[in-house]
Structure 1
C-alpha cells in the first residue's frame, strides 16, 4: 500500500477493514527507509487519530507514531509521511473501532443459529457469536477483491484443514475452514490491509485464525453480508 503526495496519479485499493478504499496518489518523496521530517497533507488528522499533540508540524515522536501505524497496516513506504492512503486507512480503522464490542448491533447476523461466524463485508470485520453473545472478535479481515468477491448469504463450514495449501494459487492457507466452495477462513502472512484483497477467502491474522479454528467446528453456521467498498 503506497502513500504519497506528488502529482503523478495512480489508483490503489486499500483492503482490510476496508481494506478496499480506493484512493488516487502519486509517488512518495524519494527517501531511504526511516522517518521523514516532512509533514504530510494530513498531518493534523494523523496527530489527532494517534493521540499526538495537534500542531500540524512533524516531530520525531509524530513520525515514529505514524510510521508504526503504517507498518502495522501494510502501508509502504513506512516513513511516517501522512499522505492520503494513511489518512484513508485511519478513517476506516476509526469506523471499525466505533463498532466496539457490539459488532452485531446492526441486527444483520442471525441470532437464532447457535454458534455462528459473522462476516461484515462493508466494514471488513468478522466475529463469532452464540445467540446475541459475542464469543470472539470483532477482528479485521481481508475479503475478496473486485471480480473475486466473497459470496454473501447463510452457509455452513463443511471442511477444515489446518495445513491446507491452495492447489489453484499454490500458496499456504493455514487454519482453513471452508464454507462456500473454495472460500474459507484462513490466515495470511501479509497484512490484512494489503490490497487488492483475496480471491474470495476471508483472510485474517494467524492469531485470529487460530482462535476461529478453536472455536468453530464442521457444521457451524457462517453468515456473510454487506458489500466490500470497491467491489
Structure 2
C-alpha cells in the first residue's frame, strides 16, 4: 500500500512538471515566415543602413534585416522590400536621431517648420531642439514646385477645400500664396502635389495643434525629379 501511494505521488509530480513546462499553444512563439521580397530601388541605401554587404542585390539576410528595420520604424506591411516608403522613413529616423542631419534648416530662438525638399521631410525645431519629429511629406511636382526660402503662416483653415484641384485640404496652414501645409489621403510616395506640402492626415492634425498664425516656415533643397 505504501509503495503504491509513493508511486502514485511520483507519477502525479511528473505529470505536473510536464504540464508546467509545456508552453501554452496560444502564447508559444511561432516560426518567423520566410522573407521573400526581391531587389527594390533603394536596395543599396537600405543595405548600408542595416549594415549588410552593399551589393544592390536582395538576399534572404538583407530581406530579414530590412523587415526588422521596418518593424522598428512602424512601417506596415513589414515585408523586407527596400522601397521608397521605407527609405523616407529611414531618413526621417536619421534626422530625428542626429542633430547634424538638421543643418540645412536654420536654428532660431523661435519655432521654425523645416521643409527639406531634397529628402521630402518636414520637422519643427526651436534652436537645436526638435519640437515635432521628422515625417515624410510630398511637395510640388515638376513645374509646380513648392517655393523655397523663408515664409510665415498667414492663414489657417481646418476644413479647407481646394476650388482649383477640387480636393479637400484638411488642417490647411497657408504660408505662400496658395501653398499650404495640409493633410491628404493620397500616396505621399508617388508623383507630387500642386505646390503644397502634403502630410498624412494624422501628421497634419498634430502639426495643426502645434503651429500658430505667424509661425515661420523654411523651405530648401530640390525635390527629386523636378527642376527646382
Q: TM-score, normalised by structure 2?
A: 0.65
For the structure 1 residues 146 and 70, does the alpha-carbon distance in structure 2 shift closer, same or farther, using more than 3 Å as the test?
farther
1:205 aligns with 2:200: yes
Matched, 1:174 2:170: yes
Rounded Cα–Cα distance in structure 2 between residues aligned with 1:114 and 1:222: 11
For the pair 1:51 / 2:68, whether they are aligned, the reply is yes
Measure how far apart 1:110 and its partner are.
2.1
Q: Which runs of 5+ in 1 are unaligned?
A: 1-36, 53-64, 73-79
C-alpha distance 208-106 of structure 1, shift in aligned 2 (>3 A): closer
Cα distance in structure 1, aligned partners of 2:200 and 2:83: 23
> Where does the alignment leave 5 or more consecutive residues of structure 2 unmatched?
1-34, 40-57
Count of residue pairs the alignment pairs up: 172
The 1:221/1:113 distance shift into structure 2, 3 A limit, reads farther
Q: Which has the higher contact order (CA 8 A, sep 6+)?
A: 1
Q: Residue in 1 aligned with 2:24?
A: none
Q: Tell me the equivalent position of 1:189.
A: 185
Does the CA contact (< 8 Å) of 2:95 and 2:102 recur in 1? no
Rg (Cα) greater in structure = 2
Alignment RMSD (CA, Å): 2.9
**Larger helix proportion, structure 1 or 2?**
2
Moved more, 180-189 or 110-119: 110-119
1:180 is displaced (CA, Å) by 0.8
Give the TM-score taking structure 1 as reference length.
Answer: 0.65
